[in-house]
Amino acid sequence: MKHILITNDDGYESAGLKALAEALSPLGKITVVAPATEKSACGHSLTLTRPLRLVNVDDDFYKVDDGTPTDCVFVSLNNLFKEDKKPDLVVSGINIGSNMGEDITYSGTASAAMEAVLQGVPAIAISQVCNDHNTINNGWDFALAKKSIHDIVKKILEGSFPLDKRKFLNINIPQTSIEECKGMRISKVGYREYGNDTQRHVNPRGEEYYWIGIHPLIWKKSEDSSCDFETIKENYVSITPIHLDMTSHNDIDILKEWLN
């Protein structure tokens, strides 16, 4: 039987995590290890300054107290699994909110997949794009996301993972129905344009504090309309291959010439 480890950055009680477990349970054994609280936008952070508690919530279901998604993957792979019996796949999500463009670098969801491939386990990050957060938070059925991840994982487990080592799949799901979705499309990472939605407030003691808001999905149009933002806008499921080598290879010769 295939074994799938799932995690997220929205916390172990997230509706998206529950939907992911439901979608993948027909395909093999599921082990869930997720943060005890929401850890959105925590990036690829690993906890080094305090101990972590792996708390058993239910059968094959754990939460990591004050842990990040990276912690969840790191701790579970090195304690719940034997060295010669790692899971066949790690799937992180279903994140409530998109992870496109440079947001991937902030994303705890994507970072969990990143940690998995660093540990030698194939991985997928999956996110539900939210045009309307109220709709998502009030009974969204994740039907398209569940069908998409089930079909993709089934293809992987019955065949092979399509990428080399230290690469993972980043999937974004449009907020639409199965019937209205036009299919799946391979996309490149888009060029996200950021604002500065930081609000200043004063608490009852007269102390200043700041609250970072949610930036609208604004991006720079790509020449061939092939980026993840445009794919989602056109009602396709976006699948993007991500690799961890961040070297700007095209600039190596330029820098050598500049240094000399």
**Average pLDDT, whole number, for the chain?**
94
12-16, 35-39, 135-139, 188-192: which has the minimum mean pLDDT? 135-139
Q: Where are the domains of the chain?
A: 3-191+222-259
Tell me the percentage of the chain whose pLDDT exceeds 70: 100
Give the tens place of pLDDT for each residue, 165-209. 999 999 999 999 999 999 999 999 998 888 777 889 999 999 999
Q: Tell me the torsion sign for CA atoms 111, 115, 117, 121.
A: negative
Q: Would you state the pLDDT for residue 234?
A: 95
If one counts every other C-beta atom within 10 angstroms of the C-beta of residue 171, the result is 27
Q: Does pTM surpass 0.75?
A: yes
Distance CA 3, CA 52 (A): 24
Which fold does the domain 3-191+222-259 belong to in CATH? Stationary-phase Survival Protein Sure Homolog; Chain: A, (3.40.1210)
Angstrom distances, CA of residue 161 to CA of 125, 164, 168, 181, 247: 14, 8, 9, 24, 24
Query: Which is it for strands 61-64 and 54-58: parallel, antiparallel or unpaired?
Result: antiparallel
Give the tens place of pLDDT for each residue, 96-133. 999 999 999 999 999 999 999 999 999 999 999 998 77
b vs e for 50-88, b when ≥16 Cβ sit within 10 Å of the residue's Cβ? eeeebeeeeeebbbbeebbbbbbbbbbbeeebeeeebbb
117 by Cβ neighbours in 10 Å (0-12 / 13-18 / 19+) ranks as: buried
